[in-house]
Amino acid sequence: MKKVMFVCKKNSARSQMAEGFAKTLGSGKIEVTSSGLEASHVRPEAIATMKEVGIDITDQYSKPLSDFNAEDYDVVISLCGCGVNLPPEWVTREVFEDWQLDDPAEQPKIFPRVRGEVKERVEKLVQALSAEPEAIA
């Protein structure tokens, strides 16, 4: 099973929504964690906007990337264009993508649009990772 890390600046909105979608859509297919270049808190707007689509992320919390080891992950997804600020070991994983989504924390009215963009990309990611044959150890 592929291990996925979603990373953002503060792990407060986009990466938290991605974690919520991936845990739901990728259940039993991938393992998921999210983190930030720095930890903060999960924005109430992120929790509310996910609740609107039936996904509860109230138990998720903001975690610093420094709490994790890059070699434990197969896939690293940056959601904010912060890939340039990631330590090199994070961008050289099997799969690295930088989605560069708008930050809804700065404009709360765009939370629903960003949520839709996150969902669409997570769906494609889960499909792609589920289609790959498991590597033979």
Specify whether 82 is catalytic.
no
Specify whether 80 is catalytic.
yes
* From 8, 30, 46, 118, the catalytic residue: 8
Q: What DSSP line would sit under 26-77, residue for residue?
A: TTTTEEEEEEESS-----HHHHHHHHTTT---TT----BGGGS-GGG-SEEE
Instruction: Please give the structure tokens belonging to residue 123.
Output: 């769906």
Q: Which one-letter DSSP state was computed for residue 8?
A: E
* From 80, 101, 125, 126, the catalytic residue: 80
Return the active site residues: 8, 80
